[in-house]
Amino acid sequence: MFDCSHWMGYAILKISSKNTMFFVRENGEKVMKSFRMKMICILLGVSLVPLIVATVYSYNILSKNLYQKINMETMSSIEMLAKSIDNELQRLTADMEIVTSSKEFQHAMNQIRTSRTDGDCWVALQDMDEMMIGMFGKSKGVSGVYITMPDGVTYAIQDKYHTDLKAFSRNSWFIGKDIGFSSIVSRGIEPMQDGRNALIFGKLIRDVTDLGNLAEIGSVHFAIDPALFSSVMVQNKEDSALFLINNDGQVVVSQCQEEESDYYYRLIKDNIMQMKETSGVIPVVANESKMVMIYDTSPLYRYQMVRFIPFPIYNSEIKNITWITILFALLCIIIVVLVSVLISKNISKPVNILSKAMQYTEKGNFDVQLDCNRKDELGDMTRSFNRMVRQLNSFFKQIIENEKAKKNLEIRSLQYQISPHFLYNLLASVRSLAVIEKAKETSEMLSAVSKLLKNTVGYAGMLIPLYQETENVRRLLFIQNMCHNGLIKWDLDLQKGTEEFLVPNLIMQPIVENAVFYSADMNTGEVEINISIRKEKERLEIIIQDHGAGISEERQKEIFRENNHKGQFTHVGLFNTRERIRLNFGSPYDLMLSSNSKGTKVVITLPLLLEEEEIVLTPG
């Protein structure tokens, strides 16, 4: 009786013939631990390597995409800023164009130019000041308007810089320049008297009342406070620096730490030649610090917005991606490990059971059968094992039966043996008597019988060379021919190269005897036998054919159902000869019989043996 409390943790193997069970413990097996660990390592290796590669690849792609995303966002931002700068400049220049092209402004300019007294000039300037206040009074951008007459005299209106008016004389600005009609042009950044910088725009004023002449009546300059653009330049990244550069490469507005301004100015100056495209991204290195310079050019006035982004800003974003990637990779590794353990357990469990069943079978127990409902390769392996065990069981049972049959044949062979010395002495005495009586044929016949009997008894149950077996057949046919008054005709065709192959002693004798006894012509008593020995497809093929009346199909079946034919020397007939071949050599070697009204044909197939192997032959 088995205690059911010990069944947990065991696999049950059913032994069908004895209707009992034996148990296999699954835990604590060193071999299976090794197998399972190897499987886990393989699964981890197969899973983790692609996972690591995919993680690194994804990290690189995400970092690259993040880098591009930040650059694109920054590029989009400064592109909008550049357009805003264009819009602001366009608004200012449009206002400048409107006020300077008005008839009132032209009239005031002519009054100043033709005034005879300071009072008249002052009145004209007052009118002009009111026009400027009306146009730019609410704008924080225009910080000074400067009127220059053809004689070089300059007048200031709304001068917040207290500028040296000589700086706006005609000679210092318009001489040598191709100034078109009604064109407002930028002079760039100019330092004012109070130390501040201003963005200067100028226009040459012509008398539009006389279109045929368009005489020059003076010029006007507008000083724009760069702080006007600060309202549209909004930082969107901490620790980044933003700059507005005019088309002369001068910094109009900067948004950075004051102590870093010179540092950034040098970077702009060093890389200004690379800013040939409308927009772009330029990696720069300064003072062992890496950063990215992103710029965009306004489409109308060709002003450039430049932003410097230090790499730590990228790194802070990438750091978040790094942690997310690490956490995701750890989660995937945990899942892979758990799945690997479960898969290895699912595979190692039936392998463990199968291994134990094999160990049980090694001890000679061939009745074991495993229950298996799996549909995979392990299920196929288990079912193959069950078939193998059943076949082995059947095979060993057949071996036992064959051994019993061999023993029976040996006993039957021993029952017919006689003392060889007695027979040799008896035949020698008879032969001596025949010689004395001068009976030559009798003497030769007795000599053949003596040699045949010697080979028959002395080599029973042994392998002999084929040439020796054919000599025995020739002696047998010689004796039979003497007994039948020379009515036996026979030929033996032995293929060259087959003489040394080993065959069972007297394997051909029963067939030749049957051919002699049963194929004689009913009228003449003649017998014709043809023997052919060939090597065919890695087998030795012996064909013995007679030309007698043949054997009926029913009689052929009867021959191989029971042993009714005894040989003359070893007393083994066709049935026993066939059994000798099958028992000693197995499939596919055999004795095959075919017959018709024109004769009988027996084909013996044997293995090609050149050296006697460890095989115990059944005596014939």
Residue ranges of the chain with pLDDT lower than 70?
1-36, 137-140, 160-182, 194, 209, 211-212, 234-239, 286-287, 312-316, 409-446, 448, 450-461, 562-572, 612-620
Q: Which two tokens stand for residue 590?
A: 């055999």
User: Of 181, 165, 161, whose CA–CA distance to 173 is shortest?
Assistant: 165
- Judge contact between 341 and 40, C-beta under 8 A: yes
How confident is the model at residue 11, as a pLDDT? 37
- Per CATH, which fold does 459-607 belong to? Heat Shock Protein 90 (3.30.565)
What does the domain layout of the chain look like in residue ranges?
A: 372-410, 416-458, 459-607
pTM recorded for the entire structure: 0.44
**Using CA atoms, how far apart are residues 57 and 59, in angstroms rounded to an integer?**
5
pLDDT tens digit sequence for 185-209 = 777 787 777 677 888 888 888 777 6
Confidence at residue 3, expressed as pLDDT on a 0 to 100 scale: 38
- Are the CB atoms for 483 and 517 separated by under 8 Å? no
Tell me which amino acid residue 227 is.
A
CA angle 200, 202, 207 (to 5 degrees): 165
**Among 227, 358, 236, 229, which residue's Cα sits nearest to residue 301?**
229
How many angstroms separate the CA atoms of 366 and 369, rounded?
9
**Helix locations, 310-376, DSSP H:** 311-362
- Between strands 279-286 and 599-607, the pairing is unpaired
CA distance 292 to 283: 4
**Of the candidates 497, 533, 556, the residue with the CA atom closest to the CA atom of residue 605:** 533
pLDDT in tens, 287-331: 677 788 888 988 888 888 888 887 766 666 777 777 887 888 888
Return the residue matching tokens 């076949």. Answer: 391
Those residues whose C-beta lies under 8 Å from the C-beta of residue 6, and which sit 6 or more positions away, are: 23
Cα–Cα dist 45/37, whole Å = 12
Q: Is 159 helix (H, G, I), strand (E, B) or coil?
A: coil
pLDDT on residue 546: 92
Question: In this predicted structure, what is the pLDDT of residue 489?
Answer: 92
What would the pLDDT profile of 257-278 be if each residue is shown by its tens digit?
777 788 888 888 888 888 888 8
With beta carbons less than 8 A apart as the criterion, state whether 115 and 106 touch. no
What ranges make up the beta strands (E) of 404-560?
463-465, 488-494, 502-504, 527-536, 539-546
**CA distances to 136, 170, 174, 543, 549 from 143, in Å:** 9, 20, 21, 131, 143
According to the model, what pLDDT value does residue 437 have?
57
User: Is residue 569 packed enough to be buried (19+ CB in 10 Å), middle (13-18) or exposed (0-12)?
Assistant: buried
